[in-house]
């Protein structure tokens, strides 16, 4: 579904991604983790076509470089970490923006587009919010609106940049459960960046650990989230607690000798 080969991205004169080889299968949930500045968001932006670099990217078996912008948008949807919400935009009109790649340059939306928006709103239980102004919603509601826009876009690949950062733990779980449900119902391929390693390990089937722009570990959560890896790449002292086959990361405070 997504195939990166030898991807190297340079921003300014800093190499942000270096020699990335990555294949993501259809329907898989891949979570990209790594310390700050490792290149997680840049990898997502590269797949979305927002930054260019050396190496090749295949989407749906076709070279991405050959895809027109509109066609690419029909294949890949991106939910950014800090989206720009237009002043005064209602939920309905904002979600309808997701239909842009399906509407001709000077055309307007048809019944098919409105049906897609209706489905997206109803999947995310947002129908009663259709006339609300996006800027007035709570963090959790706003995140659902963003996901609804990506769902209305109808793209089989959905990229989410830190989808849970601004949410409390309850809403984090709700949003991730929702993404997982939509992934199954719509056969979506999901790639997220995540800061919270425990949540990444709970939901993603596969984790890729980036450090200094390179993939250093790639595999299921139980192989990636080890005490040794987190010490080596994050400089973190943690204990891994296993809940079934899913690891949970418990940060430990340095022991101090009190006098």
Partner 1 sequence: MTTAASAARSVLGRVTLRPARLRRRWVLAGLLAVVAAVTAGLAIGPVAVSPAELGRDLLGLHTHLSVQQIAIVEQIRLPRVVLGLLVGATLSISGASYQGAFRNPLADPYLLGAAAGAGLGVTIVIAGNADGSPTPVGAPLAAFLGALIAVSLAYGLGSAGGGRASTASLILSGVAVASFLTAVQTYVQQRNQDTIRQVYSWILGRLSSAGWHEVLILLPYAVLSWIVLLGHRRILDVLAVGDDEASTLGINARRSRLIVVVAASLGTAAAVSVSGLIAFVGIIVPHTVRLLAGHSYRVVLPLSLLFGAAFLCLTDLLARTMSSPAEIPIGVVTAFLGAPFFIVVLRSSRRFGMTS
Which residues would be at the binding site for partner 1 (CB under 8 A)? Answer: 45, 48-50, 69-74, 76-78, 80, 83-90, 92-93, 96-98, 100-101, 103, 105-109, 114, 117-118, 121, 127-128, 130-132, 135, 153
- The separation between CA 256 and the C-alpha centre of its own chain, rounded to angstroms, equals 39
Give whichever of 71 and 214 is closer to partner 1, judged by the CB atom: 71
Residue with smaller CB distance to partner 1, 58 or 71: 71
- Shortest distance, CB of residue 172 to partner 1, whole angstroms? 23
115 or 250: CB nearest partner 1: 115
Q: What is the DSSP letter of 233?
A: I
Nearer to partner 1, 134 or 197 (CB): 134
For tokens 């307007």, what's the residue?
A: 108
| Comparison of 51 and 232: residue with beta carbon closer to partner 1 | 51
CB of 63 to partner 1, least distance (A): 18
Residues 192 and 31 sit within 8 Å (Cβ to Cβ) = yes
Determine the Cα–Cα distance for residues 155 and 76; give it in Å rounded to an integer.
Answer: 5
153-183: string of b/e by CB count within 10 Å (b at 16+)?
Answer: bbbbbbbbbbbbeebeeebbebbbebbbebb
Name which of 150, 136, 239, 162 is nearest 188 in CA terms.
150
Least distance CB 128 / partner 1 (angstroms): 6
- Nearest approach, Cβ of 12 to partner 1 (angstroms)? 10
Q: How far is the CB of 90 from partner 1 (least distance, A)?
A: 7
d(CA 96, CA 150): 10
Compute CA distances 152 → 60, 149, 180, 183, 243, whole Å: 19, 5, 16, 14, 35
> How far apart are CB 38 and partner 1 at their closest, in Å?
20
Q: Tell me whether residue 114 or residue 166 sits nearer to partner 1 (CB atom).
A: 114
């Amino acid at each position: 579904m997504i195939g990166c080969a030898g991807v190297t991205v340079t921003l300014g004169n800093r190499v942000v991604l270096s020699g990335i080889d990555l294949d993501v299968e259809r329907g898989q949930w891949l979570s990209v983790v790594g310390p700050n500045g490792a290149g997680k968001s840049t990898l997502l932006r590269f797949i979305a076509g927002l930054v260019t670099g050396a190496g090749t990217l295949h989407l749906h078996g076709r070279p991405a470089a050959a895809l027109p912008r509109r066609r690419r948008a029909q294949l890949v949807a991106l939910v950014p970490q800090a989206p720009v919400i237009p002043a005064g935009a209602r939920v309905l009109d904002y979600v309808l923006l997701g239909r842009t790649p399906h509407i001709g340059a000077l055309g307007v939306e048809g019944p098919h587009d409105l049906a897609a928006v209706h489905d997206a709103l109803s999947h995310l239980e947002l129908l009663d919010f259709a006339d609300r102004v996006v800027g007035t919603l709570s963090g959790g509601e706003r995140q659902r609106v963003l996901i609804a826009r990506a769902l209305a876009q109808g793209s089989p690949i959905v990229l989410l940049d830190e989808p849970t950062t601004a949410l409390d733990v309850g809403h984090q779980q709700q949003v991730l459960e929702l993404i997982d449900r939509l992934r199954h119902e719509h056969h979506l391929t999901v790639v997220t960046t995540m800061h919270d390693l425990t949540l990444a390990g709970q939901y993603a089937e596969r984790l890729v650990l980036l450090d200094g722009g390179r993939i250093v570990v790639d595999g299921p959560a139980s192989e990636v989230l080890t005490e040794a890896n987190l010490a080596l790449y994050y400089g973190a002292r943690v204990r891994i607690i296993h809940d079934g086959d899913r690891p949970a990361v418990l940060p430990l405070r340095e022991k101090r000798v009190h006098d």
